[in-house]
């Protein structure tokens, strides 16, 4: 499987920023870094993705290290609805040439948001 | 916002019975997927489907599983003879293009919870 390392869990307070880290030292040069999240009893939900530059959308920001070996998902003001498992996902290099189709989910980071 | 819809939301079936899970992907998407998640475990890839054929499948997707796009809108997963270990949440997903080479995103449905008794 593609190698990503995320903390098992993190805790935040409502309305505060949250920085969710991910290490991916074996990333391939042209592969995107994807972040998904899974709210309780729901399907995975796309959050953001990026290649080299930092990215922003209405949900979050993605800060990518210059060497691309790590990235950080930033939730600017956490809400109770942001409590979920957050997955940092890279291409599955276990397959010859790497899969072009699938996302390989790890255990992710369980984010708890306190009121 | 367009979404992937799945039916049924929950199905209970007896071991050995056939089950068909149905999905309506987002209308302009070309790539279709099934994933599953056993309770308390990771989300696992089953199969991807493009241009009316399987483009990739996992070891889980054995001869008991099949997928079909019978018309222009539905995408189905059939489990021919269910086993107890098939009990899981099954997620359908779709995308406009390839995830990794083009950076497209995959949109997931809410899931169909299958309980085999």
> H helices within A1-115, ranges in order?
none
Interval B9-58: pLDDT, tens:
999 999 999 999 999 999 999 999 999 999 999 999 999 999 999 999 99
The pLDDT of residue A98 = 67
Tell me whether residues A103 and B44 touch, CB distance under 8 A: no
CA dist., res. A11 & res. A17, Å (int):
11
Q: Which of A47-61, A88-102, B38-52, B85-99 has the lowest mean pLDDT?
A: A88-102
Task: Quote the CA–CA distance of A104 and B19 in Å, as a whole number.
Answer: 25
Q: Comparing A35 with A32, which gets the higher pLDDT?
A: A35
Inform me whether the pLDDT recorded for A97 exceeds 80.
no
**In chain B, which among 52-91 make CB contacts under 8 A with chain A?**
55-56, 58, 91
The helix or strand, by DSSP H or E, that contains position B102, with its residue range, turns out to be helix B99-102
Q: Which pLDDT belongs to residue B108? A: 96
Nearest to B42 among A30, A101, A105 (CB): A105
Which position has the higher pLDDT, A27 or A54?
Answer: A54
Q: Is the CB of A38 less than 8 angstroms away from the CB of B43?
A: yes
Quote the percentage of chain A above a pLDDT of 90. Answer: 74
Write the pLDDT tens digit of every residue in A99-113: 777 888 999 999 999
Share of chain B above pLDDT 90, in %: 86
Q: What is the pLDDT of residue A95?
A: 57
In Å, the largest CA–CA distance within chain B is 42
Give the model confidence (pLDDT) of A3-20 as tens digits: 899 999 999 999 999 999
Instruction: Specify the length of chain B in residues.
Output: 117
The strand pairing partners of A76, in sequence order, are none
From CA B94, how far away is CA B33, in angstroms rounded?
6
Using 50, 70 and 90 to split pLDDT, how confident is the model at A32?
confident
Residue B11 CB burial class (10 angstroms; 0-12, 13-18, ≥19) = middle
Q: What is the average pLDDT score of chain A?
A: 90
Question: Do the chains contact at B99 and A103, CB–CB below 8 Å?
Answer: yes
Q: Mean of the per-residue pLDDT values for chain B?
A: 94
Is the CA virtual torsion B52, B54, B56, B58 positive or negative? positive
Q: Is the pLDDT of residue B67 over 70?
A: yes
Q: Which chain A residue lies closest to B49 (C-alpha atoms)?
A: A101
- Report the side by side order of strands in the sheet with B19-24: B5-7, B19-24, B75-79, B65-68
């Amino acid at each position: 499987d593609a190698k990503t390392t995320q903390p098992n869990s993190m805790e935040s307070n409502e309305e505060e920023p949250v920085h969710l880290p991910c290490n991916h030292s074996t990333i391939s040069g042209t592969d995107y870094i994807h972040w998904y999240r899974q709210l309780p009893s729901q399907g995975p939900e796309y959050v953001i993705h990026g290649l080299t530059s930092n990215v922003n959308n209405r949900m979050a920001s993605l800060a990518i290290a210059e060497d691309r070996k790590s990235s950080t998902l930033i939730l600017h003001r956490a809400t109770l609805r942001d409590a979920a498992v957050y997955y940092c996902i890279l291409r599955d290099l276990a397959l010859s040439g790497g899969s072009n189709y699938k996302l390989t989910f790890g255990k992710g980071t369980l984010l708890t948001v306190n009121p | 916002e367009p979404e992937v819809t799945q039916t049924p939301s929950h199905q209970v079936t007896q071991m050995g019975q056939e089950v068909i899970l149905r999905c309506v992907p987002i209308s302009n998407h070309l790539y279709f997927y099934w994933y599953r998640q056993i309770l308390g475990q990771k989300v696992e890839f089953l199969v991807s489907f493009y241009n009316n054929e399987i483009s990739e499948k996992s070891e889980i997707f054995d001869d008991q599983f099949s997928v079909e796009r019978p018309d222009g809108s539905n995408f189905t997963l059939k489990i021919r003879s269910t086993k107890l270990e098939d009990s899981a949440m099954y997620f359908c997903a779709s995308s406009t293009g390839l995830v990794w080479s083009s950076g497209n995103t995959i949109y997931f449905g809410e899931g169909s919870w299958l309980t085999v008794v």
